[in-house]
Structure 1
Amino acid sequence: MRTDVPAPSELLDIGAIAPEEYHALADLHGGRSYLQAASWAAVKTDWSSELLAWRDSTGAVVGTTLVLYRQLPGVSRWYAYLPEGPDIDWADPRLERWLDPLLEHLDRRQVFAVRLGPPTVLKRWQAPTLKAAVHRGRRVDDVLPDVVEPVGAAVAERLRDLGWRRGGEDGAGTDAQPRYLFQVPIGGRTNADLWSGLSKEWRRNIQKAEKSGIEIRQGTESDLPAFFQLLEATERRNGFRLGRSLAYYQRQYQVMNAERPGRMRLYLSTWNGEVLAAHTMNVVGRRVWYQSGASANHHREVRPSHILQWTMMTEAQHLGADRYDMRGVSNSLDPEDRAFGLLRWKLGTGGELVQTVGEWERPLPGPLNQLLLRAMTRYRSR
């Protein structure tokens, strides 16, 4: 966290920022999400976009955000979305200093409503805590957290006082991004520390993959079709559908790596010349994410995914990451619930489940804007 953010009495201005300056500020307040990278706008082709920066009275940039805009059909009004943003000082007790200038700017852009996703954590559960709590019908929220973050709790209270609504509350649309994330702390830990944090099952499966002759390599764009073929098989096997095409991942790979080489990476597990697992990883500043994983339906006994994750985790450590973010999980602790399987697998890394404050939404002032947001919410719920 920066210590040179403006004093509470200072006013903040907001305006456009050049991509080059925006890129250099990725670690302004603890790390920008890859969903806030400037290149992410080029991935989301059905949205227009804008890069904004908050500046203090000296002109120094003290906060940034990528804003995505989507026009409501039939009217000259726009919906604004800040995925896992903005990157501001959420510990500031006067959040209106940041949010009021944003709302004024969006109002000038003919925005009728805005949704944002503060990257602040509300609660944390360690892997041993959740493993001990696994029981039929139980959910993560039923378990006393190991840590309740005071900043996260304060942010939720302030946003509600300022007229924002949580996703799923009072008719607001549900979160677009996962609220429950699984993360492995990396900063300050050695390779031996990471290894000892793995469960016995994970260590055994990684060693089995090594003995079986699994080979790991970093792929290129030409390997994306093989990744996507495995992803389709994984979706069918596990009963979910991401709804993304091969062209989507190709576009993401191209634009993110054009912005900075190595921003999106593809890792593959091969055995006897065949790709058995392929996972994507995103890197922005000091943050690293495992985004999407895929594996074949056969030869699962050689454990291609465990060793692939271990390789990516150690690579995140080599890159100087604070955390290895494994993205969303279900909050179910019911062993009979199919959704629990993914959480169970990630618990083996010895990391922690974090609950963010989630996404928040509000219309801009005016009765027409409130009507448009209600109409949009009804449309999304169909």
Structure 2
Amino acid sequence: MTVTVQTSNPRRARGVQVVTRERHAAYVREHGAGEGAGQVSFLQSPSWAEVKEGWKSESLGWVNGEGRLVGTALVLYRQLPGIRRCFAYIPEGPVMDWAAPGSGERLTALLDHLRAAGAFAVRMGPPLAYRRWSAGTLKSAVGPGRRLGDVLPDLVDPLGAAVADRLREAGWRRCGEESQSGGDAQPRYLFEVPLGGRSLDDVWAGLNQEWRRNVKKASRSQVETFVGDANCLPDFYNLLRLTEQRDGFRLGRSLEYFQRQYRALNGEEHGRMRLYLARCEGEVLAAHTLVTLGRRAWYLTGASADHRREVRPSNALQWRMIRDAHAAGVTVYDMRGVPDTLDPQQRGFGLMRWKLGTGGQVVETLGEWELSLQGPVNKTLHRAMQAYLSRR
């Protein structure tokens, strides 16, 4: 349930105000379908607050002199046990034109609001690209001990670089750059497959030979891909537990979490979250989740069985998801996080190698930034906050 944080801050008159869930959702949908679609995340839709148990939430908006929304922020508040102060988190947001004049004043008004709400610190993740590397550039740079930061990027985004400079000047600190600050809660390095302006044949040609061979192998093995419903989530979750055990990681998510995610996102917009499954001879062998907002689609969570991997169900699923996204007019297929290693001996390189095979690109975002709102952050409060976030 969404719980609104009440405040009587008179400085709201500067342009920040609580907006209705409906108005907030409409703004996110409108801008997700616009030219700036790459700068709108589903994590900033009001429905995401329903997914996050243990957090209070607020839908905020900047309103111009004509009463029109010019930006929104989904703010999640986490109150620490035994105190009245809270930590404010804006995942992959706010949603606004970061290049527009006055963006600094809008952030100042937002910070005033958060202070009045009792926040001792705020973390946000501006949804802007900073550096980009093509698949070809990274494949040629693979080697022992190599990392993304060792490779000259193909592109440095001027807006991302300018916003990073402005945030530092305003006192923000990038997470992970100081010993007091923990790492990002959301992935800093993303893998994107551009779909805009490309035919499906172009996208197919962009896959490397191994990917095309595996997709064809799945077809010859009569792997069937289909879109399931909420009743298929237990199948997905059982495969996820197998994947965690096999690959040595733990998401820490329950079946109820994914059921809540599916219900909340689709409740706001029908078809926003879909569950794709692959089966062979009647047995489900892989399942992936996909979220679509406007002209961007995100492959969120993938799971597969331990056996019959030779029929390549995951490759078949990804190609089906890419085809469906392309047909829906999606311009960016976001495969979410990748590690920054280019060392074949490192365990994380397998995921990087698999995604590089799609012919896309690695994008370093601005990452997440923190700011103390009430003087120097008490170290005990900060450690408590980091301990909570690390449990993700």
Give the TM bin, normalised by the shorter chain: over 0.9
Distance apart, 1:191 and its partner CA: 0.7
Matches for 1:284-363 after TM superposition, within 5 Å: 284-363=293-372
Equivalent in the alignment of 2:199: 190
Residue from 159, 162, 168 that aligns with 1:151: 159
Q: Which of residues 15, 18, 28 in structure 2 aligns to 1:16?
A: 18
Where structure 1 has 5 or more consecutive residues not aligned to the other structure, the ranges are 1-10
2:134 is the counterpart of 1:132: no
2:73 partner letter: T
Counterpart amino acid of residue 126 in structure 1: S
Deviation at 1:353, TM superposition (A): 0.3
- Fraction of identical pairs, as percent: 55
- Which residue does 1:75 correspond to in 2? 83
CA distance in 2, matches of 1:372, 1:113: 13
Q: Which whole-Å deviations, capped at 9, do the CAs of 1:229-273 have from their partners, x for residues lacking one?
A: 111111111111111011100111111111111011000001000
Q: In the alignment, what sits opposite 1:3?
A: none
Residues 298 and 334 in structure 2, CA contact (< 8 A), matched pair in contact too: yes
Shift of the 371–333 alpha-carbon distance from structure 1 to 2, 3 Å rule, reads: closer
Residue 12 of structure 1 contacts residue 56 of structure 1 at CA under 8 Å; is this kept in 2? Answer: no
Match of 2:373 in 1: 364
2: CA distance, partners of 1:47 / 1:329: 27
> 1:375/1:341 Cα in 2 relative to 1: closer, same or farther (>3 Å)?
closer
**Segment of structure 1 superposing worse, 26-35 or 110-119:** 26-35
Give the corresponding residue for 2:235.
226
Which ranges in structure 2 are unaligned for 5 or more consecutive residues? 1-12
| Mapped pair 1:117 → 2:125 | yes
- Distance (whole Å) between structure 1 residues aligned to residue 187 and residue 373 of structure 2: 25
Question: 1: distance between equivalents of 2:139 and 2:331?
Answer: 24
Name the CA distance, whole Å, in 2 between partners of 1:336 and 1:129: 19
Change (3 A) 1:191 1:226: same
Equivalent position to 1:168, from 168, 171, 176: 176
Tell me which stretches of 4 or more aligned residues in structure 1 moved more than 6 Å: none
CA contact (8 A) 1:288 1:321 kept: yes
CA offsets, 1:59-114, max 9 Å, x none? 11111111000101111111100000101111236532121010011111111110
SS of residue matched to 1:133: coil
Q: Does 1:50 align with 2:58?
A: yes
1:376: how far off?
Answer: 3.5
TM-score, normalized by length of structure 1?
0.94
Return the letter of the residue paired with 2:83: V
Paired letter, 2:245: R
Q: Match of 1:210, SS?
A: helix
Superposed CA deviations along residues 157-188 of structure 1, whole A, max 9, x for unmatched, are 11010010110123122110000000100111
Spell out the pairing of 1:258-269 with structure 2 (5 A cutoff): 258-269=267-278
**Paired letter, 1:159:** L
CA distance, structure 2, for counterparts of residue 92 and residue 358 of structure 1: 20
* Structure 2 CA distance for aligned equivalents of residues 371 and 295 of structure 1: 42
The C-alpha deviation readout for 1:115-166, integer Å capped at 9, x for no partner, is 0000000000000111111101100110010001011111111101001011
What letter is aligned with 1:15? Q
SS at match of 1:336: coil
